Structure 1
Amino acid sequence: MKTSRRHFLLLSVGVGSSLVLSRAAFADTANRLSETDPTARAVGYVEDASKVDKAKFPSYAAGQTCANCSLFQGTAKDAYGGCTLFGDKQVAARGWCSSYSNM
């Protein structure tokens, strides 16, 4: 089977773009804050606000999430976004921590 230059270039572009997209997806997940991170544990961060230990964090109120916290740097549509507390780590929009602020 003889491969034309056009076929080779199209194949190369397809493979190259797949690698770039998969690398971007990996970078996105690698930059997420883990609940086991020492800084996250110190402020009681959870990825799902419905799982907050209300006995340990009595300041939690229903409806509080990272998405509506003033420290959240994402948009309303983002599943994850930056937080001024955690530097370059991304937090879950539906998450919560004891540093929650709506001011």
Structure 2
Amino acid sequence: MSQHDSNNEGRRRFLKVATGAMAAATVLSTVPRQARAQDLPHLSPSDPTASALKYVEDGTKAQGRKTPNDFCADCSFFQGKAGGAWGPCQLFPGKAVNAKGWCVSHTHVA
């Protein structure tokens, strides 16, 4: 086998891999990255993680709030839209929390 044949084989292999990678990237780019908030199930206060973090859907009834204005909507972990009733939270992946809810991990947005 000559060096020329070896170079051609290496180029062919590279082109096959590159083409496959491009095809995979194209397919993956069409998949939604994150579910929309309205598609997420609402977090139940009886969920084990919610219970551990003392999550409540009505923040006005929460024990331990530092200020009367502590709600999920003004927490740095909340990822919902401003004014939305429910939204994703980094602490509860795959679930939507009530914007008027509260948990012990509440951290004000800076």
Give the TM-score, by structure 1 length.
0.64
Unmatched 5+ stretches in structure 1: 1-27
Q: Which runs of 5+ in 2 are unaligned?
A: 1-37
Report SS of the residue matched to 2:87. Answer: strand
Superposition pairs for residues 1-103 of structure 1, below 5 Å? 28=38, 31-53=41-63, 57=64, 59-102=65-108, 103=110
The 8 Å contact of residues 40 and 94 in structure 2, kept in 1 or not, is answered as no
Q: Note if contact 1:60-1:98 (Cα within 8 Å) is conserved in structure 2.
A: no
Shift of 1:86: 0.3
TM-score, normalised by the number of residues in structure 2: 0.61
Cα deviation for residue 60 of structure 1 reads: 3.2
Give 1:41 deviation, angstroms: 0.5
How many matched pairs?
72
Distance 1:84 1:30 in 2: 13
Q: How far did residue 85 of structure 1 move?
A: 0.3
**Matched AA of 2:42:** R
Q: CA deviation at 1:81?
A: 0.1
Give every structure 1 segment of 4 or more consecutive aligned residues whose post-TM-superposition deviation is greater than 4 Å: none
- Give the secondary-structure state (helix, strand or coil) at the position aligned to 1:40: helix
1:71 partner SS: coil
